[in-house]
Chain A
Amino acid sequence: MPFGNTHNNFKLNFKTEEEFPDLSKHNNHMAKLLTPELYGKLRDRQTPSGFTLDDVIQTGVDNPGHPFIMTVGCVAGDEESYEVFKELFDPIISDRHGGYKATDKHKTDMNFENLKGGDDLDPAYVLSSRVRTGRSIKGYSLPPHTSRGERRAIERLSVEALAPLEGEFKGKYYPLKSMTDAEQDALINDHFLFDKPVSPLLTCAGMARDWPDGRGIWHNDDKTFLVWVNEEDHLRVISMQQGGNMREVFRRFCVGLTKIEEVFKNHNHGFMWNEHLGYVLTCPSNLGTGLRGGVHVKLPKLSVHAKFEEILTRLRLQKRGTGGVDTASVGGVFDISNADRLGSSEVAQVQMVVDGVKLMVEMEKKLEKGEAIDSMIPSQK
């Protein structure tokens, strides 16, 4: 229950113009689309669990953004947020997800066998492969809004769902608040441990409240399948391994998620999903597949080529530094992943990564030999 907003009815005593936030210096999707008229229309609504318009937009009001990077500027507090405030969310979703319309349907395809190739990315260049997504558990509010009781119930249910997994998915849960020093060191060395969010984009939305209560990390014994509980979403699911076998990473991802979903369904708490928005997550940017499939790949020559950005755009890929979002690349190694989330399936998005990275590695090899790559530059996908 974020701040200042549970007394929404009291707030209605003040006029719209008096309450409307000052967004004159802001650059995020919410600020671009929220007008005083729209604010006036939506401000007396609330979702069944009491999430209000001000709750939705607080993070975007508090974080004006950056001239170059367009953040989303709003979050959902529960599944119903996307319905109750659709007049705001629909245009934001359209803006963020390449014109996705309120009437469009999203395709979900978690059948890894539909992926072509992906097992032969050159490990001399592709250092590691990873696929992540998020899942929200039906019947609970989302991290910006959960009470401590709800968050703990989400944790309990998640631990129960993960406990019976066997074979390659046999693993263990580490609650953040009772981790031993030895466990903590091990998780840091494996690059598994997530920290309390410090980004004001997240803290202003209220999702870091009560840290570290109800938060934890589960991973399988092989350390190739990992679940974060109650960080930015109810669950973040990650499949990863060294080297370039993205096909195997995606197989494990699909199989693992399907098994977990079964267990949640048996507890009458399936995942939040609908045919318009796909999987429902806290941030509108993660709707649809919520999937980011990517590799750490060495592209020292290609990355300084004049057409690098153009190539990425045409392949529908994005680059990040090897520390993740908002970090710089180190030693010519980039994190390359799909740019799309909503409007195409999991298989399609991972296919784009597999095909695109394969092409870029070939371009890198050509540049190493001093050859031109102009004929290889793809058309817009």
Chain B
Amino acid sequence: MATAFTRMLSGRNTAVILASLGAGTLASGYLLTDTTAAADMRRAYPPSADFPDLRKHNNCMSAALTPAIYSQLRDKVTPNNWTVDQCIQTGVDNAGHPFIKTVGMVAGDEESYEVFAELFDPVIKDRHNGYDPKTMKHPTDLDASKISSGMFDEKYVLSSRVRTGRSIRGLCLPPACTRSERREVERVAVAALAGLKGDLTGRYYSLAELTEQEQQQLIDEHFLFDKPVSPLLTSSGMARDWPDARGIWHNNDKNFLIWINEEDHTRVISMEKGGNMKRVFERFCMGLQQVEQLIKERGWEFMWNERLGYILTCPSNLGTGLRAGVHVRLPLLSKDQRFSKILGNLRLQKRGTGGVDTAATGDTFDISNNDRLGKSEVELVQLVIDGVNYLIECEKKLENGQDIQVPSPIDQFQK
């Protein structure tokens, strides 16, 4: 017993000497290994002593993390000194739910997905229905002209919306960023958005400086985002220093909206009442492309690679990061016992009209794409359009007393 403790204590003495010599950041020969004083402290305990207790957990991280993987990764760091413990903290703190499998880990920077690939790859595969980052490539396509039949019957579809996220290369992601990095994200994004013209002209509202009046207006328009309270988010560290460098930008027409420094560097939303999904997607693509052009002019770019597509904080949003959806009334279809199967085969999901984890009110549902990674933006939006049109056809058939059919399942990945 005494030997274990004295060994630990001598480890701390070494750490004291190292810290006082300023030798905590020796890089040579330790390029990927954490050499800070905290790391020396941590290494006094073997990885097995630190392995989290995940026996009551149900998330993608807990399903994939083994003691072997953990001991390989524990002492590694990304170039920004981010560790695997920091990636998985949210999944350790939030055991999950028997019915809902959350992801259970986040990235702190672009390099997290590489340095901790041993853990991220199986998590990505699990979450994205078999997408294998080791062998597959993700297609990106923001050409809205390829969309067909993008106008829904407004007797059923009340509103249309497309959202995604974008991260700015070179700056750490929300769980890890320092205050200056976060402020830099805000500066870069706001400067770029100020360059948007025509029907994309708009303005920025910094959360820290909102007047009462502005705040009320943004709430009434359903634009205002609040400090995250979900422990899934707060445990990952992304709510630190709130509301510093957080804000909302929207155009004067109020149909193109950007959130800055919430769960990702930026969340981009195009939306309008009614069923013109094609126009919503056109504005989405045009806005994204213009913003990308504007940041490039200043020497910045978005995080993207051909393995994982657009890089975002949560692995669930990799690839396109795209959720295209409608609020649609389906009073008869939603009561048909084949409803879930139809949705599943169309690769669609339903949510309540309050968004994720809400219940539907009445007969109106939020219907959107399941997938994010392995299919392009154009493909996913077309999938939603075709799928929602099919659902409306089913509703009309049931109105006329006709029977409906469950469609055959759509393929997951591009051939």
Interface string of B2-20 (1 = CB under 8 A from A): 1001101100100110010
At the interface, yes or no: A149 with Cβ under 8 Å from chain B?
Answer: yes
Q: Are B240 and A3 in contact (CB under 8 A)?
A: yes
Cα distance, A1 to B41, chains bound together (Å): 11
The interface centre, meaning the residue of B12, B41, B51, B181 with most chain A CB atoms within 10 A of its CB, is: B41
* B204–chain A nearest beta-carbon distance, Å: 17
Q: Are B9 and A21 in contact (CB under 8 A)?
A: no
Give the B-binding residues of A (Cβ under 8 A): 1-4, 6-11, 14-15, 18-22, 46-51, 58, 61-62, 139, 141, 147-150, 152-153, 177, 203-204, 208-211, 213, 267-269
Q: Tell which of A2, A149, A177, A211 touches B49, judged by Cβ atoms closer than 8 Å.
A: A149
At the interface, yes or no: B242 with Cβ under 8 Å from chain A?
Answer: yes
Q: Are B86 and A46 in contact (CB under 8 A)?
A: no
**Closest 8 A/B residue pairs (Cβ):** A50-B38, A3-B237, A149-B45, A7-B81, A149-B49, A18-B180, A14-B180, A50-B37
* B76–chain A nearest beta-carbon distance, Å: 13
Name the B residues within 8 Å of A139 (CB-CB): 5, 8-9, 12
Q: Are B179 and A46 in contact (CB under 8 A)?
A: no
Instruction: Name B39-60 residues within 8 Å CB distance of A.
Output: 39-42, 45-46, 49-53, 56
Q: Are B92 and A50 in contact (CB under 8 A)?
A: no
Q: Are B80 and A7 in contact (CB under 8 A)?
A: yes
Given A3-B86, A62-B239; A22-B12 close (CB under 8 Å): no
Name the B residues within 8 Å of A47 (CB-CB): 19, 37
Give the A-binding residues of B (Cβ under 8 A): 1-2, 5-6, 8-9, 12, 15-16, 19, 24-25, 34, 36-42, 45-46, 49-53, 56, 80-83, 85-86, 89, 92-93, 172, 175-181, 183, 208, 234-237, 239-242, 244
Could you jot down 5 A-B contacts, CB within 8 Å? A10-B80, A14-B181, A20-B179, A147-B41, A211-B93
Number of residue pairs across A and B with beta carbons under 8 Å?
Answer: 139
Q: Tell which of A48, A50, A210, A269 touches B93, judged by Cβ atoms closer than 8 Å.
A: A210
Name the A residues within 8 Å of B1 (CB-CB): 267
* A225–chain B nearest beta-carbon distance, Å: 25
Which residue of chain B has the shortest Cβ distance to A49 in the bound complex? B41
* A381–chain B nearest beta-carbon distance, Å: 41
Which residue of chain B has the shortest Cβ distance to A18 in the bound complex? B180
* A235–chain B nearest beta-carbon distance, Å: 17
Q: Are A269 and B81 in contact (CB under 8 A)?
A: no
Given A19-B179, A62-B242; A6-B36 close (CB under 8 Å): yes
Name the A residues within 8 Å of B86 (CB-CB): 1, 3, 6
Name the B residues within 8 Å of A51 (CB-CB): 38
Cα distance, A19 to B175, chains bound together (Å): 16
Q: Tell which of A3, A149, A152, A153 touches B42, judged by Cβ atoms closer than 8 Å.
A: A149
Cα distance, A365 to B160, chains bound together (Å): 70
Given A3-B237, A49-B38, A139-B8; A152-B2 close (CB under 8 Å): no
Name the A residues within 8 Å of B40 (CB-CB): 50
Name the A residues within 8 Å of B172 (CB-CB): 4
Which residue of chain A has the shortest Cβ distance to B238 in the bound complex? A3
* A344–chain B nearest beta-carbon distance, Å: 33
Name the B residues within 8 Å of A7 (CB-CB): 80-82, 176, 178
Q: Are B53 and A177 in contact (CB under 8 A)?
A: yes
Given A9-B25, A177-B53; A61-B6 close (CB under 8 Å): no
Name the B residues within 8 Å of A149 (CB-CB): 42, 45-46, 49-50
Given contacts A49-B15, A204-B240, 4 further A-B contacts (CB under 8 A): A20-B179, A21-B179, A51-B38, A209-B235
Q: Are B179 and A9 in contact (CB under 8 A)?
A: no
Given A4-B237, A46-B37, A177-B53; A209-B93 close (CB under 8 Å): yes
